[in-house]
Amino acid sequence: MPSEKENHRAIINEGEENEMEIFGYKISIPWIILCVIGYFVSGGILLLLFYWKPEWSVWSNCVPSSLEKANVVLLRTTDSRKKYTRKKMRWVSLTEFRGSLQNESGCSVISDKDSIVNRAIRKKDLKVKFIRVQKIRYVWDFFKKEFQKVGTLEEERTCFNIHSMYGSGLTKEEQDIRRLVCGSNTIEVEVSPLWKLFINKVLNLFYLYQFFTVILWLAEGYLGYAIAILLLSICTITLSLMELRKQSSKLHNLVKTHNNMKVTVCRRGNDFSEVESPDLVPGDIIILSGKNFFLSCDAILINGTCIINEGMLTGECIPVTKTQLPHGDNTMPWKQYSGEDYRRHILFCGTEIIRTESNAQGPARAVVLRTGFNTTKGDMVRSILYPKPLNFKLHRDVKWFFIFLGVLAIIGILYSVIIFAQRQVSAARIIVEALVLLTSAICPIIPAALTVGILYGQSRLKKCGIFCISPDRINMCGQLNIFCFDKTGTLTEDGLDLMGVIPSGGKQFEEMINFNQMDNLSWGPLFGAMTSCHSLIMTDGKMQGDPLDLKMFEATKWVLEDKGEDTEKEYSENMVVRPGPESNMAMQGVKVLFQYPFSSALQRMSVITQVIGEDELLVYMKGAPEMVASFSKPETVPTNFLEELERYTFQGLRVIGVAYKILQMENCDDFDSIEREEIEADLDFLGLLILENRLKPETKAILEELNAANIRTVMITGDNIKTATTVARNCSMIPEDSKIILVEACGPNGSTPASVTCSLLEYPSDQSNSGDTRINVEDVLDTKNYSNDYHFSMSGKTYENLEKHFSDLLPKVLMNGTVFARMSPGQKATIIDEFRKLDYYVGMCGDGANDCAALKMANAGISLSEQEASVAAPFNSKVTNIECVTELLKEGRAALVTSFCMFKYMSMFGLIEYINTLLLYWQRNIFGNNQFLVHDFAIMFVIFLTMSSTPAYHKLAPYRPPGQLLSPSMLFSVIYHVLFTIAMQTYAFLIVQNQPWYSDKDVYSACYPGNESLNINRTSILIKQRTKKNYESFENTTLWLLTAMHLVILALVLTKGKPFRRPIYKNYLFVATLIIEFALTLFFIFADFEGMYVVLELVCTPRSWRIHMLVILVICLVVSFVVEDFILNNRALWIALKKLFRMKPSSNYKITRAILDEDPEWPPIEKTIYGESNVTDDKEKMYNNPAFEYDDAVPSGKMI
């Protein structure tokens, strides 16, 4: 039996993005009493620490216990941040259902022993124990002794279970029980009251530090300066609250309609009733009738057919056909049975049902699968409310930089304590002086410096039609060094043009029938497939569907019959296609009796049809040529199939295979009972459809720009490998003079081990006149002559075998992998993850249809969608071409450089004031109230607002900006400016004391010598009998004037323009600011007005000393500019130093590249590499979707 300590910890959401550890605790009364005493003794500071660190609160108030007995749990994320969250255990009572729950025959909750709802009920008192984490409810499973997510049907259910257990609906009582246990079906985004938002914001450490600064400076008598900081804090808090309120209101409005829908529910016993959507529970049966309505939950279609618009999820507003879940299988979970194509049975929350089609068994019906925040739409909202933390080096480096500033502050505090103690200052005064020094060292505005560039970048992206739901990723876009693209709809046009049809003549293909010769194609199986094997629908008199289907059907000159209101009948009539007015065929038409919609995972679709007026049933299949051929009788597939396929795919054309057979079946209403594989077996191959998928006009230029910027480009597509490779060459993803290596990996087969073969592929010199593709076997003498100028191309099956049997070889192949074809949606995401493991910063661009997982896996995913925000990606572009990629990269780089510039500037501002304070403390002096106001607001704050607004440069540089604060160039820059500031300020501080006119007893001696004894007396009163903290002195005046000009010089020196941002002179507002600030500081230095001296608490100095200060500042400007631009930011110099000191790369991809460059056997062209295993272990065999058992060749067993 497990011990109490072992039951103390568990993991929830294992393997998911939001995986967390959970620890059980019980509240301890004695410890709570001690903590309450601590709250009062510490003046509330302990309570505040517990607010920031909930784990400290739990460890102080509670004692560890098993999760089953715990009344408090502590959750910890399993990522590198290890963030803690405290949750209190809650209970739901079901005592009102005591009669039914104790009578097992009265409620199916009891009869369903495997239900989580049943296992969560504590039988002795009918209570359910749960916690709520990020809007999701987790109940304690008393049988398995673990927390389980509720609000969703169990994934272990088989197809048979779902139909038998839930097909007839739930009882009213079971619905009520499930509603109490699972919660309501709502996606609620709270628009918090302003006072609540204000308190949460104010309790942030950053704002508390600002308020602490205000109180401290008020206590010191700096009223104006303190009020200015307070007003700045209030402004930033107000703007932040307004933005939070705006975002939450927008999100609230986005989901509020979800919570106010009417749904028809079928209860057990055919009891139909209309209920509010929040009352739905997992397992309910909902009736789907009518058209153009939205779903309020995720549901599994168990009867009928639905046409859905999933634009909210995918960004692609092409109607999708959903089919009912099969009935028969009772051997495996329904998702596993359906394979990667399980989504074709799911109706997702938030999607629009365009039309429903009932059948002989009744209206379209669906079982509620998930409710509330468990739904796909709820998951999208949760991803916005709780964005995934970014593992970005910049964020980690900031913490170390603040530690560095903290160390400096401690040194300064020790210095001030020693200085003031020697002068016998009171302990209270020493503490205050030390705290003042702390606020000087750590500038309270530094955190804002890292976000200002992001805000400007987000604003500019919005103007370009690019919307962002995760602004923190904008900075990360500045580090992207590899970008992956889907092909169809992303690199190429959505639409296709039908070039022609190549009928099969049995042993050989016939001549192509061009598009303009389609009238010569007579009625037959091939023409019948073109008229009926598609998923087109008529909505409001307009034909909609996949662009490929549209082009194919339009070429036949037939028409699709509009059903009108037929969907409201007892069961829907079949789709009918008829000859159009321009067709010369004399026949009534064709009925589509049953349809298996196209699946990207299965790479095919099929229909069962019947010519009107005839009894014969025909099955048509359309899909990937190699897939269709694999289902066809070998004797019907032409012997030159591969040659003909390669001929057209190597021209970058889209090739579709077509096949058919006569179906021997008597009952036309019982198609559901027959396995799909049985219907699709033993087809007769009919021929090929050749379609041209043109590149988008912008594609080639954008990819050339990315290549010039040394950003790797990769294609991940579901298309044919030859077509994909040709498109990659045509769009300059693969340069024409580069070598292309086809990688083919096979798994073990009996005694034959797994193997990998690499073949060099050369295109014929004239593709248009030759259909041949040669594998060059002889001319490969020295593979290293290719350097890195070679590209691997592989299929999804090859990738799967590499991942499974050659895991050590996979990273090497990925280093030059450019074309990944026939990839499933899951494999697309896996490739992105593998690139990230190599320490690449990966971008992904897709049209959203099958790329959602990959878009979310990438560091920055951008969906070409007309939606402002969807579940598909952090970025969405209304401009549906890849121009958005370069815009995103430019703005990301500009935002990152801006963040670094502002961070350096704000850090230096704080350190300069810190150095000044250290020097002035030597004389028990400090800058005055108005002096601080001028430095902080008249100079620094104006520069802060304008310096960060420089737009991105119009061209991508061939290298990335630095991505970490602790890089050598950044560290040496800060160190140099700090040392130069120390030297300059200390020099001025000491030299002014050696001037002939200087007197520490007479601050008027320089300009108003007059009565010396009177001046000495006045100076003595000014210093010794002062009522304020500071006093006028030559040192104070000198340091203040130097600092004022130095801040402007730093703004000029630290601002970066080309190659990541536009030149400084293009930022007209900033240039105007610099001119005004230079003029203002020069005025302060050379003006000689008594009123100015009084207001700014300065003393008059001779003109010679003012010129001396100006010379110092000119030297500062020249030296800083030379050091910053010609040494510290000299990229060539840093590269030379790395080579000189033989510094080894830290990124995995650079290490791998160095290894490959030294390997004379790489790439292994015309070689076969064998794996270690010689047998196939069925126990370890992974589940493989049969769609990916075939690459781009027909297996020999299928053909003669």
Query: Catalytic site residues?
Result: 486
Environment class of 31 (CB within 10 Å of its CB; exposed 0-12, middle 13-18, buried 19+): middle
Measured CA to CA, the distance from residue 336 to residue 197 in angstroms comes to 45
The strand pairing partners of 1066, in sequence order, are: none
Environment class of 18 (CB within 10 Å of its CB; exposed 0-12, middle 13-18, buried 19+): middle
Measured CA to CA, the distance from residue 716 to residue 199 in angstroms comes to 47
Q: What is the 3-state secondary structure (H, E, C) of 330-366?
A: CCCCHHHHHHHHHHHHEECCCCEEEEEECECCECEEE
Closest CA to 561 of 515, 525, 612, 623: 612
Total count of residues recorded for the chain: 1200
In this structure, are residues 636 and 658 in contact, taking their beta carbons and an 8 Å threshold?
no
Return the half-sphere exposure (C-beta side, CA atoms, 13 A cut-off) of residue 493.
15
Helix residue spans in 927-1033 (DSSP H): 929-933, 942-947, 968-991, 1012-1024
In this structure, are residues 108 and 166 in contact, taking their beta carbons and an 8 Å threshold?
no
In this structure, are residues 309 and 319 in contact, taking their beta carbons and an 8 Å threshold?
yes
In this structure, are residues 815 and 1156 in contact, taking their beta carbons and an 8 Å threshold?
yes
Closest CA to 13 of 70, 79, 87, 69: 79
Measured CA to CA, the distance from residue 715 to residue 102 in angstroms comes to 60
Burial readout 1005-1028 (b: 16 or more C-beta within 10 A, e: otherwise): bbbeeeeeeebbeebeeebeeeee
Burial readout 800-827 (b: 16 or more C-beta within 10 A, e: otherwise): bbbbbbbeebbbbbbbbbbbbbbbbbeb
Measured CA to CA, the distance from residue 356 to residue 364 in angstroms comes to 7
From residue 22, how far is each of 12, 65, 78, 88 by CA, in Å?
Answer: 7, 12, 10, 12
Structure tokens belonging to residue 1171: 């794996």
Structure tokens belonging to residue 91: 């209970």
Structure tokens belonging to residue 454: 């992001």
Q: What is the 3-state secondary structure (H, E, C) of 523-584?
A: CCHHHHHHHHCCCCEEECCEEECCHHHHHHHHHHCEEECCCCCHHHCCCCCCEEEEECCCCC
Each as own residue / partner, the long-range contacts of residues 943-946 (CB below 8 Å, 24 or more positions apart, any chain) are 943/905, 943/1047, 943/1048, 943/1051, 943/1070, 943/1073, 943/1074, 943/1077, 944/445, 944/449, 944/452, 944/902, 944/905, 944/906, 946/1067, 946/1069, 946/1070, 946/1073
Closest CA to 1022 of 1104, 1093, 917, 1092: 1093
Measured CA to CA, the distance from residue 1118 to residue 981 in angstroms comes to 14
Structure tokens belonging to residue 46: 């302990």
- Strands, E, within 134-290: which ranges? 136-141, 146-149, 262-267, 271-276, 285-288
Each as own residue / partner, the long-range contacts of residues 426-435 (CB below 8 Å, 24 or more positions apart, any chain) are 432/216, 432/219, 432/220, 433/921, 435/216
Measured CA to CA, the distance from residue 215 to residue 221 in angstroms comes to 10
Apex 388 CA angle, 387 and 390, nearest 5: 115
